[in-house]
Amino acid sequence: MEKTKKDSCQPSKERTEKPTGMDAVEPSPRWEHFPHDADMGIRGIGHSKAEAFEQAALALTAVTLDPDKIHPHLKRSFSCEAPDDELLLVDWLNALVCEMDTYKMAFSRFHVSLNNHQMEASAWGEPVDRGRHEPAAEVKGATYTELSVHHLPNGIWMAQCVVDV
């Protein structure tokens, strides 16, 4: 039985191989990390903006723990609205961080629906089990550093920012 929660925080796809480059059209959505001083860059790549947002959420999870170890049996729902795509990405990721921190949750599956700069999303996961999940770091929040949401010339969407760890 699936539990659903609508969060006032206003806050898929399976993990794929890490990318080898963004110049070639890849058949699957994916995520990656990129280094940034003491923090961590996260990047979601997909065939649609919504897929890129979903993959960015997976990259966020992967900063803390291995998404493959998370059983996606509890559902959380999120609604976000922002004046542009970049701020919407930050709001989405910070809503996830809020949910993860407040309720000690870990997520491994996401579904995002976008309509202009409004988002309805779902995340599936479970409470963190420190023994099984072995969290490595704590994400404090998504930042505006290297913030970008754009459509690449090859038709792929990319959504990225740096998260404070």
pTM of the model: 0.82
Q: Name the nearest CA neighbour of 34 among 46, 22, 47, 24.
A: 22
* Structural domain spans, the chain: 31-164
**Res 69: pLDDT:** 96
Nearest-angstrom CA–CA distance, 42 and 146 = 10
- With tokens 């992967």, the residue in question is 62
Topology of 31-164 in CATH? Answer: Archease, Possible Chaperone; Chain: A; domain 1 (3.55.10)
Distance of CA 57 to the CA centre of its chain: 1
- Going by pLDDT thresholds of 50, 70 and 90, the confidence category of residue 27 is low
Query: Cβ–Cβ contacts within 10 Å for residue 77, how many?
Result: 14
Nearest-angstrom CA–CA distance, 51 and 46 = 5
DSSP state of 25: P
pLDDT one-digit tens code per residue, 107-162:
999 999 999 999 999 999 999 999 999 998 899 999 999 999 999 999 999 999 99
